Amino acid sequence: MSTSTRQLILQRCFEAIQAKGFETLRTDKEIARLKITKGAFYHYFPNKAELGYAVVDEVMMPYYEQKWANLANIETGIADALNTVLEQEKNKASETTIKRGDVLTNMILEMSHSDDLFRQKLEAVNEVQVKIIQKAIMAGRVAGELKNQTDARSMALFIVGQLMGCYTISKVRASKETFVSMVGNLQKQLKDALVVDAVASKSSDVPSNVGVSAPNTERMPSTPTINNPYNRVEEKTEEKPSRGGWFSRNR
């Protein structure tokens, strides 16, 4: 028995959990699929719970860390990197994946109420995503790309929670189109709430006495209004989704 056998068991069981959930996972069926003995299986995992813990720690944790890899340890281009992650979520969505839903969300709903250790491990997977995004937002503020008024941790929690919600609502509707539309709206909300307006930023760099012909000349406030993603007013006209980046002039 080798480490690769253990990793193979974990990966196959993770795929089974993605497809149908943890509570319906049958270890005997997976043993048959893998063509290994029960002794080999139980050598690594004495019971189903221990298998589940290992799947969360060793497969799901790196799976979700990889989702946000574009945002990890970068100092500039944070807005584009975040937008890219959400674009990737839309692009990889299929009718099958949407019907299955987000595996982390599914397991939270299944297991967090009945097994506190499961809940803690699932919370850790959620938290690692939040910390990656939070760090990136703080870096974007230092670089002058993102608005200073935004609380980084609250916004990171908002992003992770909204994306999980997109999967959940699209799952119950069995609709890929719903998912793509919801994530697109999330992208627009984040652009308004986070991204510094390049035009406003340039104009604020101009000395205050340039172009002023009289001391009584009125000045517009230099601080742009922040649109709160929690309190947006729905526009009367429906905008067609843009395929460009957040800094496209067509947006």
Residue-wise DSSP of 2-16: -HHHHHHHHHHHHHH
What is the C-alpha to C-alpha distance for residues 33 and 58, in angstroms, rounded to an integer?
Answer: 21
Q: Which of 106, 241, 232 lies closest to 180 in space, CA to CA? A: 241
CB 164 within 8 A of CB 102: yes
Instruction: Please report whether residue 4 resides in a domain.
Output: no
Q: Is the pLDDT of residue 246 over 70?
A: no
Q: By percentage, how much of the chain surpasses pLDDT 90? A: 71
- The pLDDT value given to residue 213: 41
Domain assignment present for residue 214? The answer is: no
Number of domains in the chain: 1
Whether the predicted pLDDT of 212 surpasses 70: no
Which residues are within 8 A (CB) of 123 and not within 5 positions of it... i.e. 6 or more apart? 112
Per the structure block, which two tokens stand in for 95? Answer: 């009718």
Residue 27 belongs to some domain of the structure: no
Inside any domain, residue 122: yes
Q: Is residue 110 part of a domain?
A: yes
Asked if residue 80 is part of any domain, the answer here is yes
CATH code for the domain of 84: 1.10.357.10
Q: Does residue 1 lie within any of the structural domains?
A: no
**Residue 50: pLDDT above 50?**
yes
| Helix and strand totals (H; E) in the chain | 12, 0
Distance CA 235, CA 250 (A): 17
Domain membership of residue 64 as a residue range: 49-203
Can you give the pTM of this predicted structure? 0.77
CB 56 within 8 A of CB 121: yes
Q: Is residue 133 part of a domain?
A: yes
Enter the tokens of residue 85.
Answer: 């992650």
Rounded CA-CA distance 208/205 in Å is 9
